Copies of this chain bind each other. A is one copy, B any other.
């Protein structure tokens, strides 16, 4: 049996779904791949449950239920305070360990870098570590992929050939990063990546195209729980900007989050309002969007909230696309990404499908883990 020990940071929606899927598929992984994936540590914000022989499945399922009900691992009978990241990372203390980051926080960066020093593998569902300093990105990307016999530092583009994976940071389980990596590895020239990476914003743009009022769509989406509690967290576009930056860095470009030009779906002066004030003030934006959509339609175009990675620049915001292009034909909440390259021209290579959801994301994380179990 091949064994890869798992240290999991983050027991929110994705982390919980991952634990459930790992338990559900234990026998499948053993049968198909001869692979065992013991979870040796489960960590939330400040607590942890550790067992270097692997937490048993019954306890794992109880722990994720406990977390789902709002519990803190520090207060669970099996758990305790997390303490120093080194304490957690050193639990495994041997080869064959992967640190999986399903948080949405920068706080895991020290633990991740420490894990790299130990020679562990890394899987990220968390965009933050990849979108802070370029230097952190470079270290995560080069994990274990030393170029050549002298053991010199690897080129950041080697990441998918090394010991780290982060497929689910863009488009959840969709194979966006894997596709980008294949194009880059072949030497194909990627001239433009354009995509929609927010189901919520896809819902808004589809609604606008159908002639509905912006205020009405956003209020409905908020009421139905399709948006974050503060809908500006979606409408501002910063989450999409992080995804664009990850794609650009995947092309080998060196730039920071501040270099991404982000245009939100509301003017900055509305940032100072309370959530309720913001919702109440939305109708003042209706006319502008109505006019933009009508102008686009008159030219055979539609408005999408897109990320565009092109010419060493990243732009995120409302974007005019041909109604007859893959992005233009898209409806609803699916993500869609077009890769325009030397060989995919004039028609792009297109990936489309659900780009969010805890189960699809967790499944993508699990694919990354299985792949790394057979790497190195």
Q: A252 vs B28: C-alpha distance in the bound complex, in angstroms?
A: 12
A59 to chain B minimum Cβ distance, whole angstroms, is: 21
Q: A206 vs B186: C-alpha distance in the bound complex, in angstroms?
A: 31
* A329 at the B interface (CB under 8 A): yes
Report yes or no: A326 in contact with B344, Cβ–Cβ below 8 A.
Answer: no
Closest 8 CB pairs of A and B: A34-B147, A25-B187, A161-B374, A349-B353, A186-B363, A34-B148, A350-B352, A182-B367
Q: A33-B157, A352-B352 are in contact. Are A175 and B173 (CB under 8 A)?
A: no
* A179 at the B interface (CB under 8 A): yes
Report yes or no: A161 in contact with B370, Cβ–Cβ below 8 A.
Answer: yes
Closest to A336 in B: B350
Please provide the chain A residues from 1 to 29 with a CB less than 8 Å away from any CB of chain B in the complex. Answer: 1-2, 21, 24-25, 28-29
Q: A183 vs B354: C-alpha distance in the bound complex, in angstroms?
A: 14
* A51 at the B interface (CB under 8 A): no
Q: A43 vs B121: C-alpha distance in the bound complex, in angstroms?
A: 40
* A343 contact from B33, B149, B332, B363, Cβ within 8 A: B363
As a 0/1 sequence over residues 72 to 115 of chain A, the CB contacts with chain B under 8 angstroms (1 = contact) are: 00000000000000000000000000000000000000000000
A25 to chain B minimum Cβ distance, whole angstroms, is: 4
Q: A187 vs B29: C-alpha distance in the bound complex, in angstroms?
A: 8
* A360 at the B interface (CB under 8 A): yes
* A310 at the B interface (CB under 8 A): no
Residues of B contacting A155 in the complex (Cβ-Cβ under 8 angstroms): 31-34
As a 0/1 sequence over residues 323 to 353 of chain A, the CB contacts with chain B under 8 angstroms (1 = contact) are: 0001001001010000000111001111111
Q: A252 vs B32: C-alpha distance in the bound complex, in angstroms?
A: 9
Q: A371 vs B371: C-alpha distance in the bound complex, in angstroms?
A: 12
